A = this chain, B = another copy of it.
Amino acid sequence: MNNSEQGRFNYDGLDVVFHEKARLGILTSLLTQPEGLSFNELKRLCALTDGNLSRHLTMLSEKGFIKIEKSEHLGRTQTTAIVTNKGRKKFAEYLSVLEQILADALPVTQKGNAAVEG
């Protein structure tokens, strides 16, 4: 890709649903656990409050990126979040934009303070 192109650094594929820090953590942790994670596990892994986690899970579920399952466990309702195939596919597209950003930026940062190219 030519670095002088119109919109070259626009990164249009950075869908705000995935780009938001908390949801980025939620999706990444769910990816690593295909069988799902309970509400309390997610809360701990992502260091989120009940209210924040609830809000993000509802949004991701409404978008069809995760599904929420309720089960009874020792007489208490347990909520489990599981990433859907759609969520996995769309999140992979988002991750490919992050890869592009790193491909654009890292060679330059690694050159760092060395000679500036002419």
Contacts and interface: CB of A to CB of B under 8 A. Distances in A.
Contacts of A92: 109, 112-113
B47 A7 contact: yes
A112 B105 CA distance: 27
A14 interface: yes
A104 B32 contact: yes
Contact of A32 (B3, B7, B47, B98): B3
Contacts of A29: 8-9
- Per assembly, the copies of the chain total 2
Contact of A7 (B11, B46, B101, B105): B46
Interface string A87-118: 01001100100110110111011001100100
A108 B31 contact: yes
A34 interface: yes
A77 interface: no
A28 interface: yes
A101 B104 contact: no
Interface stretch (A18-26, A54-62, A67-75): A18-26
